[in-house]
Structure 1
Amino acid sequence: MTQKLFNIKQNRHFRSVLRNNLTEPEKILWQRIRSKQLGVKFRRQHGIGKYIVDFYCPEKKLVIELDGDSHYNHDTQAYDRKRDDFMRSQGLQVIRFTNQDIMKKLDAVLEVIHQSIQTPK
């Protein structure tokens, strides 16, 4: 029996809590990528394995992660590398942005996302 990869039942409540408590940068980005505004569907706070990613586009196998201040210490960076390695081992592309990128350079962020969507894998 293969193990379920997406949205495992044990994380359902936590995913819901995260969706209902988005950070301000997550809210801003979500308003610009939701409802197929970039031509593809994104999901927010999507479970992949034991992890919950900020945004996921199943059609393009694209994970978008937003990093706040807590991501700037050694332990968290090591954890993020482990998560990213897992995502890549599942054939997923991961792109990361800082909260400051969203707040100050949103158009550049959207361009990177758009380019990632357009690039054939």
Structure 2
Amino acid sequence: MPHTPLPPRNRANAKSMRKAMTDAELKLWNELRAHRLMGLGFRRQFPIAAYIVDFACPQKRLVVEVDGSQHGDKSVAVDDTVRTMYLEQDGWTLLRFWNDDVIHDIDNVCQHIVIAAGLSGVDL
């Protein structure tokens, strides 16, 4: 499947965002990186078209977003909905988790990711 064209600045922005991850993003990345979660290959701060997603598993076309409290704001929530619709129309499945869930319940977060990747029924 061909890549969706990227705006020229997205690659540079994604690279700089990798250096400024939140505590929750770092915690989840530690679970996802190097195929640690059931062999799934995730990339962090991954550009997809006009967006940069927190984590993506291109093989499964799965996106994982880790949201802070600002995502509870109505205008940000509207932007998130538009972003989700675009990514889903492009064939991606999108999962969203709150920072607090990642920090305090990482096992459950990982279980949801495994199920969404179609690997349910397998022990973590």
TM-score of the superposed pair, with normalisation by structure 2: 0.89
Q: 1:35 to 1:6 in 2, by over 3 A?
A: farther
Q: CA separation in 2, counterparts of 1:40 and 1:53?
A: 17
Q: Name the SS of the counterpart of 1:118 in structure 2.
A: coil
- Shift of the alpha carbon at 1:12? 1.7
- Shift of the alpha carbon at 1:69? 1.0
Q: CA separation in 1, counterparts of 2:118 and 2:106?
A: 18
Identical-residue share of aligned pairs (%)? 33
Partner residue, 1:107: 107
Q: 1:54 to 1:6 in 2, by over 3 A?
A: farther
Partner residue, 1:95: 95
- Any conservation in 2 of the 1:45–1:54 contact (CA below 8 Å)? yes
Please give the residue correspondences for 1:1-121 in structure 2 after superposition, counting only pairs within 5 Å.
5=4, 7-38=6-37, 39-118=39-118
TM-score of the superposed pair, with normalisation by structure 1: 0.91
Q: CA separation in 2, counterparts of 1:119 and 1:40?
A: 10
Q: How many residues align?
A: 118
Q: Name the SS of the counterpart of 1:34 in structure 2.
A: helix
Q: CA separation in 2, counterparts of 1:104 and 1:76?
A: 24
Q: CA separation in 1, counterparts of 2:10 and 2:113?
A: 27
Which residue identity lines up with residue 93 of structure 2 in the other structure? Q
Q: CA separation in 2, counterparts of 1:10 and 1:45?
A: 13
Q: Give ranges in structure 1 of 5+ residues lacking alignment.
A: none
